[in-house]
Amino acid sequence: MNDALLSVSGLTKRYGGMTALNNLSFELHTGRIIGLLGPNGSGKTTLIKIICGLLQPTEGTVTVKGNPIGVESKKVISYLPDSTYLGKSMKVSEIIAYFRDFYADFDEMRAYDMLEKLGISANDRLKTMSKGTKEKVQLILVMSRRAGLYILDEPIAGVDPAARDYILSTIISNYDENASILIATHLISDVENMLDDVIFLQQGNIIRFSSVDEIRGVDGKSVDGLFREVFRC
Amino acid sequence: MLSKLLKHEFTATWRVPVALDALLIVLGIMAHFVIKSIPLVEDSVGVYVILFSLIAIYYIGIIAANIIVQIFLVMRYYRNLYTSEGYLTFTLPVRTSHIINAKVINGYIWILLSGICTVASLFIAAIGLVDAADIPVYELREFATEIGTLFGINDPGFIVTLLLTVLISSLSAILGLYFSVTVGQLWQKHKILGAVLCYVGIYIINQIGAQISFLSSGYFRMLTGSGTDFDAAFSGLYGRILTSTTIFSLVMVVIYYTGCILITKKKINLD
Amino acid sequence: MSWNLISDRPIFIQIVERIQSDIASGALSPGARLPSVRELAAEASVNPNTMQRALSELERMGLMYTERTSGRFITQDADKIDRLRQDIAASRVHSFMLSMKGLGFTREETLRLVSESNDA
């Protein structure tokens, strides 16, 4: 019996002749914050979309708590994509109702609480919000689930330092204690203090999967330092 | 979960079709008064041209309203599944078939409703014609019965066939649109172009199907047949045409639906 | 308030030092109640596990204590806090003297510069 939260085995994704992911195998366990790190185009988003069931793998399998990608895996995963996925004409209250109806682990009170702190009311419509506010609303929805695995794709790309602090502290204050977080980013120095483990992805290959303590202890480097060394142009 | 999906589908879509259906009825009422006013107005060519233009605009209006409903539904299908909104739709913990079913059922209801409103609109307009021509009701009824007998459409069997035809061809219409979008997204680039091409393709197939249904129903035989069996051939003709078109639509419905479900399940690729 | 953690030294040690200096300076007053681990971690943008480890270490040092129901508090032991101040001062003086030596100043020259300084 495999007790891994996420198990990826022999995962390959090809687009025509181009290999986006090349025979990846790894496992994630509960209670960890894992950084999925790599330059743009290294396959981070492709990997995430396969885990979330938005892309079909060419070869290999992915299981979440032993279940293949499907209804059961989607109950466990709370996914923040790298773009806005909410219908523009929706009101905040309609989106909350949507999440409440479909996700049994959604904590409505928590979501309204966080929205209120940002001064967003239930009757506001998404199309009246700035891009930054929309992204915050989306983050609040995703972090208001008591999920088993949070998958966050570039949550702090292109935001100002104040928004970055808000996003990171929202993630840390809200994720479920027994859950894990997989956070994909190329902005390593901003997140490295919160990571337990890192996965370095380069051109669809995992070139390093180790704990941050190991990188600091054994390599004597910061994750950012090691990253700059590995991915030197 | 299907009922929840349907609920959200309904709340997200009802405004546009309801507005257009209301417009259909309003247009029908306006056409009614325009037609009714024909005998009352001055006998001048200019006035007649205006009146008949208004009636032509009415016909274009009802066709446009029906097409807009369909375009609205298919755009919603595309946006909700195959643009960034799909990231949410396809990560919901529900079965893919339920997602499709909710869209099909909701779309079908709106297509049927605008069909009903179109018929109602035409009916309201036609009453204006009856008023204008000042035909007594009993004469009208006799006329209808005669026409009915001539075309063999008076028996209840025909009414049932007609109803089935409407129900199934409406389903085929909405599923054909969804199917085109689903096939279109198989292309890595030009997804919308792919959908349009697929729609053109199935349109041609449907036309060929309709022709075959038409010919196999004995239309051709009627034209070339001898005088004696002309009446017999003619009387059941419309029933037969409807039956074979319906069977053809039914086959297409099955193909479209299975295609939508299988492609979405096995081939979903949201880049 | 930014925590200014740098990334090439273990985060856990930097957190411990940071809280120690806040206790010594009185920024965290004796007997004060600390926010929860989760809140502190969020404020510093660090992993809650790391924050937990740092707080446990500070508890082991006797600089804070946990009451099962009401949370975690700064020690009220004045001797302990004073000893902490002395320790921090000693280690800062030590590193200061080392760096002055590195610049080529003798012990006497350094002391003279310190006594002539207008700072503080």
All domains in chain A, ordered by first residue:
6-230 (3.40.50.300)
| List of residues 6+ apart from B132 with CB closer than 8 A | B35, B36, B37, B38, B39
Contacts of A102 in chain B (CB under 8 A): 1, 4, 92-94
d(CA B79, CA B202): 22
User: What tens digit of pLDDT does each residue of A109-135 get?
Assistant: 999 999 999 889 888 898 888 888 899
A91 DSSP β-pair partners: A125
Asked if C44 reaches chain A (Cβ–Cβ under 8 Å), the answer is: yes
Dihedral of CA B175/B177/B183/B185: which sign?
negative
Count each helix (H run) and each strand (E run) in chain A, helices first. Answer: 9, 10
Indicate if C16 and C71 belong to the same structural domain.
Answer: yes
Q: What pLDDT does B178 receive? A: 96
Chain centroid to Cα A72, Å, comes to 18
Residue contacts between A and B (CB atoms, under 8 Å): 64
Could you tell me if C113 and C52 are in contact, meaning their C-beta atoms sit under 8 angstroms apart? no
Indicate if C55 and C101 belong to the same structural domain.
Answer: no
Chain centroid to Cα B158, Å, comes to 19
Q: What pLDDT does B220 receive? A: 63
Indicate if C41 and C89 belong to the same structural domain.
Answer: no
Mean pLDDT, residues A84-93 taken together: 86
- pLDDT, one tens digit for every residue, chain B (271 residues): 899 999 999 999 999 999 999 999 999 999 888 888 877 777 777 777 888 888 899 999 999 999 999 999 999 999 999 988 999 999 999 999 999 999 999 999 999 999 999 999 999 988 887 777 777 777 777 877 777 776 666 677 777 888 888 899 999 999 999 999 999 988 878 888 999 999 999 999 988 988 887 777 766 666 665 555 556 556 667 777 888 888 889 999 999 999 999 999 988 888 7
Could you tell me if C34 and C69 are in contact, meaning their C-beta atoms sit under 8 angstroms apart? no
Cα–Cα nearest to A29, from A217, A178, A193, A204? A178
Could you tell me if A107 and A176 are in contact, meaning their C-beta atoms sit under 8 angstroms apart? no
DSSP H helices in A53-145: 71-76, 92-102, 108-117, 131-143
Indicate if C95 and C109 belong to the same structural domain.
Answer: yes
Query: Of C7, C44, C48, which has the smallest distance from its Cβ to A222's Cβ?
Result: C7
d(CA A51, CA A74): 9
Indicate if C33 and C72 belong to the same structural domain.
Answer: yes
Which residue bears the tokens 């099962």? C68
DSSP H helices in C1-119: 11-25, 37-44, 48-60, 78-102, 107-116
Contacts of A216 in chain C (CB under 8 A): 8-10
Minimal C-alpha gap between A29 and chain B (Å): 21
Is C19 among the domain residues?
Answer: yes
Is C96 among the domain residues?
Answer: yes
Q: What pLDDT does B253 receive? A: 95
> Between chains, do C5 and A193 touch, taking CB under 8 Å as contact?
yes
Mean pLDDT, residues A17-26 taken together: 92
d(CA A180, CA A178): 7
The enclosing H or E element of A185 equals strand A180-185
> Between chains, do A225 and C44 touch, taking CB under 8 Å as contact?
no
Asked if B133 reaches chain A (Cβ–Cβ under 8 Å), the answer is: no
Backbone angles phi, psi at A150, to 5 degrees: -95, 125
Q: How would you class B90 by CB atoms within 10 Å of its CB: exposed for 0-12, middle for 13-18, buried for 19 or more?
A: buried
Indicate if C15 and C58 belong to the same structural domain.
Answer: yes
Q: How would you class A188 by CB atoms within 10 Å of its CB: exposed for 0-12, middle for 13-18, buried for 19 or more?
A: buried
Could you tell me if B76 and B17 are in contact, meaning their C-beta atoms sit under 8 angstroms apart? no
Binned at pLDDT 50, 70 and 90, residue A178 comes out as confident
Q: Indicate the number of domains in chain C.
A: 2
Is C26 among the domain residues?
Answer: yes
Indicate if C71 and C15 belong to the same structural domain.
Answer: yes
Is C102 among the domain residues?
Answer: yes
Q: Which CATH number does the domain housing residue C41 bear?
A: 1.10.10.10
C3 DSSP β-pair partners: none
Indicate if C24 and C63 belong to the same structural domain.
Answer: yes
Neighbours of B14 (CB within 10 A): 13
Asked if C7 reaches chain A (Cβ–Cβ under 8 Å), the answer is: yes
Evaluate if residue A1 carries a pLDDT over 70.
Answer: no
Query: Of A194, A213, A216, which has the smallest distance from its Cβ to C46's Cβ?
Result: A194
Backbone angles phi, psi at B89, to 5 degrees: -55, -45
Asked if A41 reaches chain B (Cβ–Cβ under 8 Å), the answer is: no
Minimal C-alpha gap between A8 and chain B (Å): 18
Minimal C-alpha gap between A64 and chain B (Å): 13
d(CA A51, CA A73): 9
> Between chains, do C7 and A169 touch, taking CB under 8 Å as contact?
no
User: What tens digit of pLDDT does each residue of A154-171 get?
Assistant: 999 888 888 888 999 999
Q: What pLDDT does C1 receive? A: 43
Classified as helix, coil or strand, A14 is strand
Contacts of A152 in chain B (CB under 8 A): none
Cα–Cα nearest to B269, from B129, B86, B66? B86
Backbone angles phi, psi at C16, to 5 degrees: -55, -50
> Between chains, do C50 and A193 touch, taking CB under 8 Å as contact?
yes
Minimal C-alpha gap between A56 and chain C (Å): 33
The enclosing H or E element of B230 equals helix B230-235
d(CA C61, CA C65): 10
Indicate if C15 and C72 belong to the same structural domain.
Answer: yes
d(CA C110, CA C95): 13
Asked if A59 reaches chain B (Cβ–Cβ under 8 Å), the answer is: no
Going by DSSP bridges, is the β-strand pair A6-15/A59-64 parallel, antiparallel, or unpaired?
Answer: antiparallel
Asked if A40 reaches chain B (Cβ–Cβ under 8 Å), the answer is: no
| List of residues 6+ apart from A51 with CB closer than 8 A | A6, A8, A62, A64, A69, A77, A151
At C88, the amino acid letter reads: I
ipTM of the complex: 0.91
Is C6 among the domain residues?
Answer: no
Indicate if C38 and C56 belong to the same structural domain.
Answer: yes
Among C3, C7, C15, C46, which would you mutate to test the A interface (most chain A Cβ atoms within 10 Å of its Cβ)?
Answer: C7
Q: Which residue of A has its CA nearest to C51?
A: A194
Indicate if C41 and C85 belong to the same structural domain.
Answer: no
Neighbours of C (≥3 Cβ pairs closer than 8 A)? A
**b/e per residue B138-169 (b: at least 16 CB within 10 A):** eeeeeeeeeeeeeebbbeeebeebeebbbebb
Own/partner pairs, B55-64, CB within 8 angstroms, 24+ separation: B55/B31, B58/B27, B58/B28, B58/B30, B58/B31, B58/B34, B58/B125, B61/B23, B61/B27, B62/B24, B62/B27, B62/B28, B62/B118, B62/B121, B62/B122
Binned at pLDDT 50, 70 and 90, residue A139 comes out as very high
Minimal C-alpha gap between C10 and chain A (Å): 7
Query: Of C5, C7, C45, which has the smallest distance from its Cβ to A168's Cβ?
Result: C45
By residue range, what is the domain housing residue C109? 79-116
Binned at pLDDT 50, 70 and 90, residue A29 comes out as very high
Could you tell me if A58 and A14 are in contact, meaning their C-beta atoms sit under 8 angstroms apart? yes
Q: What pLDDT does B87 receive? A: 94
What parts of chain C have a pLDDT lower than 70?
1-2, 6-8, 120
d(CA B98, CA A17): 34
d(CA A178, CA B29): 64
> Between chains, do C50 and A33 touch, taking CB under 8 Å as contact?
no
d(CA A150, CA A177): 12
Backbone angles phi, psi at A37, to 5 degrees: -115, 140
Indicate if C62 and C92 belong to the same structural domain.
Answer: no
Cα–Cα nearest to C19, from C97, A217, C50, A215? C50
d(CA B121, CA B35): 13
